[in-house]
């Protein structure tokens, strides 16, 4: 069927749907006319289906699903979970404590390391005291030896007495050197012991898990009282400041895209709204089309993966209502000089009054309580299915 034919048939269907009325007889036998709910649904679904069908040359579309960067929070060390302060659906901020582990073994090692520090400090104090005492003895032996040299020349003392004074002086010098070495060893032991204390303290600090970024808890994988291994994930967090849609395009379209190009996203639950986005990734290598992807060319063998990142300002305004897993359509321009058609101009609902990060557990990226009914899937558009979250 030609384009004009499709437009004509669409207009007829719209007229028929709009004229579908429900007739009800009131007590006064007056006839009231109002569009039936079924007719409204037909019109809405038809509009949603027609949206993007007659795209201008240079604008292409593909089905996709809203996703977000997923981060697993895990402990570097084994231990027993003493508490988990968040639940699935909880909103968290960067640096917020989300879980604590206990490890009596590391706590005992910390006490032992602190005892070693104290022991090394005591050894240092003893060595310094001995050095002071030996230094005094050294000064006396040195002056006695120097007087002996003068007396030996004048013949007032014997050679034997002089040699005794010399041995005393040499012994005092050796004693000072010995205790100086002990002092250096004590200083080195203090440094080693303090480093061990810092190491064990850092391990104990790491047993308190904090959120690496702002987001929402998607999964709670361990409960308080459980023993977890090193590296075992405790919770999974979705970074709702990095939300995107993954679509697949043939080489002819993907080759014309560049990172940073404008894009548009329309979600199935709210087809009346157009969300601004940008191309954040274009695969360098083609891949075989996933089995769940259907393209207008039936099944193309090789497709390129493209990520459309939702505008950061939109995410900030609707942060409390962002939800992943919602399906929709992604639109990109393969020609930069082509203007977006009227039905793909950015259109967003009124931002929620409460913009705090305390988000409810289930919402959508562009939500409204009076949003239109679910959009009928477009069988002619490329449908993608990314792997489900954990």
Question: Does 155 map to a domain?
Answer: yes
Q: Which of 184, 206, 228 is the last residue of a domain?
A: 206
Question: Does 18 map to a domain?
Answer: no
Is residue 293 within 8 A of residue 286, CB to CB? The reply is no
Burial classification of residue 41, based on how many CB atoms lie within 10 Å of its CB (0-12 exposed, 13-18 middle, 19 or more buried): middle
Question: Does 2 map to a domain?
Answer: no
Give me the helices (H) in 84-158, please. Answer: 104-154
Residues 263 and 369 grouped into a single domain: yes
Residues 181 and 322 grouped into a single domain: no
Residues of the chain with pLDDT under 50: 1-35, 42, 45-46, 48-50, 52, 298, 355-390
Q: Which of 163, 190, 206 is the last residue of a domain?
A: 206
Residues 56 and 165 grouped into a single domain: no
130-158 burial: b if 16+ Cβ within 10 Å, else e? bbeebeebbeebeeebeebeeebeeeebe
Residues 194 and 114 grouped into a single domain: yes
Question: Does 363 map to a domain?
Answer: yes
Residues 41 and 160 grouped into a single domain: no
Question: What are the backbone angles phi and psi of residue 188, rounded to the nearest 5°?
Answer: -65, -40
Q: For the domain that residue 195 is a member of, what is the CATH number?
A: 1.20.120
DSSP symbols for 145-192: HHHHHHHHHHTSS-HHHHHHHHHHHHHHHHHHHHHHHHHHHHHHHHHH
Residues 244 and 171 grouped into a single domain: no
Rounded Cα distance, 384 and 245, in Å: 10
Q: Among 382, 245, 387, which residue's Cα sits nearest to residue 302?
A: 382
Question: Does 376 map to a domain?
Answer: yes
Residues 266 and 374 grouped into a single domain: yes
| pLDDT the model gives residue 357 | 40
Residues 190 and 247 grouped into a single domain: no
Question: Does 168 map to a domain?
Answer: yes
| Sign of the torsion angle spanned by Cα atoms 222, 223, 226, 231 | positive
Q: What is the DSSP letter of 321?
A: G
| pLDDT the model gives residue 83 | 92
| pLDDT the model gives residue 131 | 77
Burial classification of residue 5, based on how many CB atoms lie within 10 Å of its CB (0-12 exposed, 13-18 middle, 19 or more buried): exposed
| pLDDT the model gives residue 292 | 55
Q: Look at phi and psi of residue 303 and say left if phi exceeds 0, alpha if psi is from -120 to 50, else beta.
A: beta
Question: Does 132 map to a domain?
Answer: yes
- Angle (CA) 156-162-168 rounded to 5° is 140
Is residue 48 within 8 A of residue 343, CB to CB? The reply is no
Residues 328 and 385 grouped into a single domain: yes
Rounded Cα distance, 251 and 27, in Å: 65
Instruction: Find the domain containing 313 and state its range.
Output: 31-69+239-390
Burial classification of residue 238, based on how many CB atoms lie within 10 Å of its CB (0-12 exposed, 13-18 middle, 19 or more buried): buried
Question: Does 345 map to a domain?
Answer: yes
Q: Kindly give, in sequence order, each residue whose CB lies less than 8 Å from that of residue 340, ignoring residues fewer than 6 positions away.
A: 59, 262, 264, 333
**What domain count does the chain have?**
2
Residues in the chain, how many? Answer: 390
Rounded Cα distance, 66 and 389, in Å: 12
Rounded Cα distance, 227 and 232, in Å: 10
Rounded Cα distance, 242 and 310, in Å: 8
Q: What is the DSSP letter of 383?
A: P
């Amino acid at each position: 069927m030609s384009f004009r034919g499709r437009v004509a048939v669409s207009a007829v269907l719209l007229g028929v749907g709009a004229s579908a009325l429900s007739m009800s007889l009131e007590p006064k036998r007056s006839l009231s006319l109002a569009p039936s709910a079924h007719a409204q649904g037909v019109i809405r679904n038809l509009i949603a289906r027609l949206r993007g069908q007659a795209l201008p040359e240079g604008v292409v579309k593909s089905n996709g699903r809203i996703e977000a960067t997923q981060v697993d929070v895990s402990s570097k060390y084994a231990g027993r979970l003493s508490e988990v302060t968040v639940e699935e659906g909880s909103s968290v901020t960067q640096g917020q404590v989300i879980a604590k582990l206990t490890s009596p073994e590391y706590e005992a090692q910390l006490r032992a390391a602190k005892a070693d520090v104290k022991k090394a400090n005591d050894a240092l104090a003893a060595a310094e005291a001995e050095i002071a005492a030996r230094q005094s003895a050294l000064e006396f032996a040195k002056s006695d030896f120097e007087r002996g040299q003068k007396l030996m020349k004048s013949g007032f003392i014997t050679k034997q007495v002089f040699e005794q004074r010399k041995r005393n002086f040499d012994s005092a010098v050796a004693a000072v050197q010995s205790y100086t070495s002990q002092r250096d060893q004590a200083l080195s032991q203090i440094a080693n012991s303090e480093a061990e204390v810092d190491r064990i303290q850092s391990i104990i600090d790491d047993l308190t898990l904090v959120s690496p970024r702002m987001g929402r808890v998607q999964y709670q994988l361990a409960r308080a009282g459980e023993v977890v291994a090193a590296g075992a994930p405790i919770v999974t967090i979705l970074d709702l400041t990095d939300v995107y849609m993954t679509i697949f395009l043939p080489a002819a379209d993907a080759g014309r895209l560049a990172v940073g190009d404008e894009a548009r996203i329309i979600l199935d639950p709210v087809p009346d709204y157009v969300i601004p986005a940008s191309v954040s990734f274009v695969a360098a290598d083609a891949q075989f089309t996933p089995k769940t992807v259907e393209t207008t060319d039936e099944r193309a063998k090789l497709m390129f993966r493209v990520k459309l990142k939702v505008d950061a300002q939109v995410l900030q305004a609707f942060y409390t209502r962002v939800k992943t897993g919602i399906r929709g359509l992604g639109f990109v321009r393969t020609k930069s000089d082509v203007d977006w058609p009227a039905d793909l101009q950015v259109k967003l609902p009124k931002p929620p009054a409460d913009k705090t990060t305390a988000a409810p557990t289930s919402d959508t990226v562009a939500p409204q309580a009076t949003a239109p009914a679910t959009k009928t899937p477009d069988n002619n558009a490329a449908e993608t299915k990314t792997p489900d979250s954990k």
